[in-house]
Amino acid sequence: MKLNERVFEVLNGEPVEVQNLDGHEVKIYILDDYPDVLNEFVNKGKFAVWSCVDGTNYKLAIEKGYYDELRELYSDKVNDTWLKFWDECEKISSTFSKKIVLPATAVIIVIFVVLMALSNKMPGKLGTYLTLGLAIFYVLVILILRKLTTNKINIANQNALAVIKKNLGEAHFNDLLERQRNYIDAYYDTLSAKEEAEASANEENVNELKETEETTEAEKEESNNNEETEVKEKEVVETTEEASNETSKNK
């Protein structure tokens, strides 16, 4: 099944682990090595990202601390269950598009063409109303079928979780979920504290810069005042000298 194709292309480094499972290959990467991808998905609450372009070769990127804490959730056996889930999703999606959407679309197009051809022979705006009604009917059918498809995928997801819980043991599975919640809470608390510290540091830098600018401005103003004072003193001296010279001439 195609998943996060852009992420698949980005994960081009050396994987920390490679799993070969029933005809599928899973390469595991550390999400922290790809900061842009890390920020994008961690901000969505996702610490593990599956990606695939061909339904056979998968790449799984996991945040480092999360991987170290919950490696059991990504063991061969657990990932094999998830691969079967992805295969099931592919079948469901394929059935929806190839066996339902495409045939329904073809039928609707044929009916639409017929209505357009006969619209001139229909009284009033009957042809227009029938065409509009057909379009609305088509949209409603697609929405209903999409909802049914989503429900099937949700059921497949719950079945996969039930298999994983059974394989790990319910008590141990619940313990892992608790550790998962604790890790995520601690991660976001640390991230929030870091962001606050950075914001505080930036504010201090802005204040320091402002103080520096004010000090520089004050020094500049003082320098200008001193220059003005020197000019005035020079003018007084020159005036005094001129007066003295004039007095001497008069004598």
Q: Which amino acid is at 73?
A: L
Main-chain dihedrals φ then ψ at residue 51, nearest 5 degrees = -145, 150
pLDDT at 172: 96
Residue 109: band (very low, low, confident or very high) from pLDDT cuts 50, 70, 90: confident
Owner of token pair 């949700």: 154
Domain ranges of the chain: 1-71, 75-168
> What integer pLDDT is reported at residue 151 of this predicted model?
94
| pLDDT, position 245 | 55
Give yes or no for a contact between 74 and 62, defined as CB atoms under 8 angstroms apart.
yes
The one-letter amino acid at 139: V
How many whole angstroms separate alpha carbon 222 and alpha carbon 220? 5
Residue 75 is predicted with a pLDDT of 95
Cα separation, 121 vs 187, whole angstroms: 69
Strand order in the sheet with 48-52: 17-21, 24-30, 57-62, 48-52
pLDDT for the residue numbered 126: 79
pTM for the whole structure? 0.69
pLDDT band at 238 (very low <50, low <70, confident <90, very high): low
pLDDT band of residue 186 (cuts 50, 70, 90) is very high
Q: Residue 170 in contact with residue 64, Cβ under 8 Å?
A: no
Measured CA distances, 167 to 17, 62, 67, 77, 81 (Å) = 22, 22, 19, 8, 10
Query: Which is more confidently placed, 171 or 122?
Result: 171
Residues in the chain: 251
* Residue burial 218-233, b: 16+ Cβ < 10 Å; e: rest: eeeeeeeeeeeeeeee
Q: Is 75 exposed, middle or buried (0-12, 13-18, 19+ CB in 10 A)?
A: middle
104/4 Cα distance (integer angstroms): 28
- Mean pLDDT over 211-228 rounds to 69
